[in-house]
Amino acid sequence: MKWAVATSGFDEVFEPGGAPRPHYAPLIGILESFTREDVDRRERLQKLALMNQGITFTVYGEKEGLERIFPFDFVPRIVPAAEWKRIQDGLVQRITTLNLFLLDVYQEQRCLKDGVIPPELVLSRTEYKRELLGLTPPRKIFTHVVGTDLIRNATGEYLVLEDNCRCPSGVSYVLENRALLNRVFPEFFAPYPVRPVKEYPTLLLETLLYVAPRPSQSPVVVVLSPGIHNSAYFEHSFLAREMGVPLVEGRDLLVEGNQVFMRRTHGKRRVDVIYRRIDDDFLDPLTFRRDSMLGVPGLVNVYREGNVALANAPGAGVADDKAVYAFMPELIRYYLGEEPLLAQVPTYVGFRRDDFRYMTEHLDELVVKTTGDAGGYGMLMGPFASKKERESYLAVMKKNPGNHIGQPLVQLSSHPTHSHGRFEPRRIDLRPFILYGDRIRVLPGGLTRVALRPGSFVVNSSQGGGSKDTWVLAPREP
Amino acid sequence: MILSRVADALYWMGRYLERAENTTRLLLVTEEMVSEVIGLDEGAARAECSELRAIFPGIDASDEVPRPTKAMAQAALYELSIDAAHPHSIFFSLKKARDNARTVREALTIEVFVSLNETYRELGGYTRRQIADLPSFRDAMAATQRGILSTAGAIEQTLARDPGWLFLKLGESMERVFRTTVVLRAKLPELLAQEPKVDLPLFYTRWRGLLRGLSSLENYRKVHGARMEPADALQFLLFDPHTPRSLRYGTSAVKELLERVSGTSQLSLPARIIGRLAADLAYQGQDDVLREGRAIPFLDHVLAELTRCHDTLSTTYFGT
């Protein structure tokens, strides 16, 4: 089996001289004891296991009901304990700030008055829901579940690429990837103190119970899904199963007397906490999009009355807006009086006239994104785009400058990934998951997404990405 | 208690899983019999094929039997086995069972889902050409039947006996008794009209085929021995209290489940409908029903009552 070292950016496994980093040495030893035939056979077992267990996502736009497996690479990513400690502290600081920011912009708007962030920028975001102004969610928590995307620059420093404060997905793959790797390559684990991730559903349930409006009455928690056709349906079903709570769709719920109920075979039952995996806009046709068939009419009013908790709270999306992101270091200093523990990517905000001019003049050096989109949609990779692509993108940008941000291309770190009998460098990122309940907890693990195409920077599953198991190591006893 | 949508999905998962098993068995039994007797009595072979059409309306079995070697029309075998577009194919039923299971995975165990999913995927892997080759067709059917039975085993061994399980079993029991009635209704007119003419062995073969198609031949022999008496067979399929595919056993299975779902001393409408039908089958004079010319109208009555029971249970529990 052959190994290739990354030619650009940070190599997760090999030092510049070509020697493996110490925490990867045992793994490489094990991998080298396998023949090509061993590896091919186990990869076949792995695919079969995924198909048979129905761990699939639905692809849009192709044949009806086409199910795909999310490609999995069996070479795990390993994060040493000390490195993880820094990530974890940085994430706690960041999520604390995001939540304070949300409480502020829906209440006193101090940060706007004090000029930390331009008021027009925040208030013009589509994710800023003025219908919810003045409303405090139960226990003052907006962001119960956050998935923050991290990348590593050329020196290996972790940078925050974006925060996902609405319905971050992927945590089911964190758990399934671990189970799968253990099933197919059990030999990998012996030399490593790998921290378990299996506790996540329990912690998620505790997080949700914490915000129940009737904490004394054994509250009813449900997972609200748009249904089987949603690409993340497997995850919705997985989390409901793992937590032992009902999985519901909008049509299963109804509002009566300012309370939410689910329709059952023998009468209805009150619901206290909804872990909703539906965007704000579709949540309640009486408050947001009228044409939504996925939501529950009257739900927001019940929420307003404090008779149901929604996780994440409606309106939280404004905190992960890509333009708001540019102000995060300032917001951390403003709310906490601390320096940010995790760096982030320098960002030009189209909302500022000077920034926008810089973006238009340096389009060939920048990655430009629309502020509202996720999943790699609506993005221009300037350095790789043709002149024609840049020009047509520019025309779109000029129609709505405030809707765009620009960032220099960060190399992303690379990790050996199996491809036809060779281990080749492929670019990766990392999405840890953070829960905000009685305190903030970071799951010791995360989703490592990998750009499977050689040279590609795009790790999104909708665009040719795969994933890896991510090992956070426990500190060894001295 | 459980969400109406979940109960609905589990009920249909049970129905489609049972339907897939019934179709597999009937197809296997019919194809084998037709292959065997085609040279002996082409008319009988034709009749068996067209009865399949009555059981599964819309299949293309009309102009089959082109040559003795290709006993059953390949089109019919294909349509009833792996044709995804045909609403009576085994694949279609398995897909429906699996689609329903996918929407309520949280109500199932991993063993149940994986077994069903594997069975579905395995059958989906067969091509039209493989199905056209009879030995490979029989392999496919046998594998599918094994897969369905292990799914049923997983349901038996791993599922909690909660309300979800009740609705799953209700769907299974309803489909089973409904299918027995439809098969009897399709096959009896021809079987009863026939006098044991010249070819006595063939006459008995067809009656045995009926019992095999309802997986009741071995159970029949335990009660009546190897001797095939049409009157005994008919009595057995309608009134035997122990064989799981008799009408009497089937209706009382549905009745018991509906009483448990109903839960109170005040029985729901579907529970009362099936209760009366089960009482008819248990207490009515059997000779009365078996008298000449009475069996067919009685089966029509059973079909109508089963349909009414299904419709009322849908409105009562699923809100549909």
DSSP B154-198: HHHHH---SHHHHHHHHHHHHHHHHHHHHHHHHHHHHHHH----S
Q: What residue numbers bound the domain in which B289 lies?
A: 161-320
User: Which distant-in-sequence residues (6+ apart) come within 8 Å of B130 by Cβ?
Assistant: B136, B137, B140
Residues B264 and B306 in one domain: yes
- Out of 3.30.450.40, 3.90.1150.10, 3.40.50.300, 3.40.50.11290, select the CATH number for domain A214-307: 3.40.50.11290
pLDDT at B44: 84
CATH numeric code, A348-408: 3.30.1490.270
pLDDT of B65 strictly over 50? no
Per-residue pLDDT 10s for chain A (478 aa) are: 688 888 889 999 999 988 999 999 999 999 999 999 999 999 999 988 888 888 877 666 555 557 778 899 999 999 999 999 999 999 999 999 999 999 999 999 999 999 999 999 999 888 999 999 999 999 999 999 999 999 999 999 999 999 999 999 999 999 999 999 999 999 999 999 999 999 999 999 999 999 999 877 789 999 999 998 888 899 999 999 999 999 999 999 999 999 999 999 988 999 999 999 999 999 999 888 888 888 999 999 999 999 999 999 999 999 999 999 999 999 999 999 999 999 999 999 998 999 999 999 999 999 999 886 665 677 889 889 999 999 999 999 999 888 899 999 988 999 999 998 899 999 999 999 999 999 999 999 999 999 999 888 888 877 778 999 999 999 975 5
Q: Tell me the shortest Cα–Cα distance from B55 to chain A, in angstroms.
A: 29
Residues B23 and B136 in one domain: yes
Verify whether the Cβ–Cβ distance A52 to B261 is below 8 Å: no
Q: How confident is the model at residue B56 (pLDDT cuts 50, 70, 90)?
A: confident
Which residues of chain B are within 8 Å of residue A249 when distances are taken between CB atoms?
Answer: 5
The encoded tokens of residue B168 equal: 């799953």
What number is the average pLDDT over the span B73-80? 81
Residues B103 and B250 in one domain: no
**What whole-number distance in Å separates Cα of residue B312 and Cα of residue B320?**
10
pLDDT of B161 strictly over 80? yes
Contact A435, A443 (CB under 8 A): yes
Q: Can you give the residue ranges of every domain in chain A?
A: 2-213+308-336+411-472, 214-307, 348-408
The number of distinct structural domains making up chain B is 2
Residues B101 and B166 in one domain: no
Q: How confident is the model over B274-320, as pLDDT tens digits?
A: 999 999 999 887 788 888 788 999 999 999 999 999 999 999 999 86
The two domains A214-307 and A348-408 share their CATH topology (first three levels equal): no
Verify whether the Cβ–Cβ distance B7 to A267 is below 8 Å: no
Which residues of chain A are within 8 Å of residue B1 when distances are taken between CB atoms?
Answer: 264-267, 269
Residues B187 and B312 in one domain: yes
The encoded tokens of residue B270 equal: 């579907």
Domain boundary among B95, B125, B159: B159
Residues B121 and B236 in one domain: no
pLDDT at B61: 44
Residues B182 and B237 in one domain: yes
pLDDT at B37: 84
E strand residue ranges, A130-207: 145-152, 158-164
Interface of A with B in 187-216 (CB under 8 A): none
pLDDT at B151: 98
**What whole-number distance in Å separates Cα of residue A146 and Cα of residue A150?**
13
Considering only CB atoms, A252 lies closest to which of B3, B113, B263, namely: B3
Residues B262 and B182 in one domain: yes
pLDDT at A231: 84
Task: Count the neighbouring beta carbons within 10 Å of the beta carbon of residue A40.
Answer: 14
Strand partners, A419: A422
Strand A259-264, strand A253-256: pairing: antiparallel
**What whole-number distance in Å separates Cα of residue A200 and Cα of residue A220?**
19
Residues B32 and B154 in one domain: yes
Domain boundary among B139, B159, B179: B159
A227 vs B: CB within 8 A: yes
pLDDT at B70: 52
Half-sphere exposure of A398 (CA within 13 A, CB side): 10
Interface of A with B in 36-55 (CB under 8 A): 51-54
Contact B254, B309 (CB under 8 A): yes
* Interface test with chain A among B1, B5, B114, B318, by most A beta carbons within 10 Å: B5
Q: How confident is the model over B94-121, as pLDDT tens digits?
A: 999 999 999 999 999 999 999 999 999 9
- pTM confidence score: 0.88
Residues B32 and B144 in one domain: yes
ipTM value: 0.79
Q: How confident is the model at residue B63 (pLDDT cuts 50, 70, 90)?
A: very low
Domain boundary among B159, B188, B205: B159
Which residues of chain B are within 8 Å of residue A227 when distances are taken between CB atoms?
Answer: 103
Count CB pairs under 8 A between chains A and B: 61
pLDDT at A293: 81
Whole-angstrom CA distances from A22 to A27, A219, B199 are 10, 48, 85
**What whole-number distance in Å separates Cα of residue A12 and Cα of residue A152?**
9
Residues B173 and B141 in one domain: no
